[in-house]
Amino acid sequence: MLLEEFNWKREVLESEEPVLVDFWAPWCPPCRTMNPVVQSLARDFKVCKVNVDKNQELAAHYGVSSIPVFIILKRGQVVAHHLGVTLETTLRSELEQLQRQ
C-alpha cells in the first residue's frame, strides 16, 4: 500500500504493522532514483511518502535535514533510519524481520 495523502496518526503512529516512511521531494534526483524501489516495497509492505516541501514540520520532527530519508516505524516507534540511496534488499530485509516480530 503506497500512501501519499494520509492521516499520519492513523496510518503510521497507530499501525500495528511496520511502516516505511519515505521523506522525499520532487526536485531531488536521488529521491527519483529510489522511486522504483519504494514502489516495489509498497507491493508487499505499508509505505508512506512524505513530501518534505509540503510537510516541513513533520520532517523537522524526525530530524530530516537531507533527503531521501527512509524511516521504519512500528507501533509509532522509529526502529530503523536510512539516509540517502538505500538498497532495496536492506529495506526489505528489515521490514520482513519486523513483520515477524
Which sequence positions are flagged as catalytic? 28, 31
What DSSP character marks residue 2? E
Paired residues of 47 in beta bridges = 2, 20
CA distance 51 to 59: 9
Taken as a whole, the chain contains a residue count of: 101
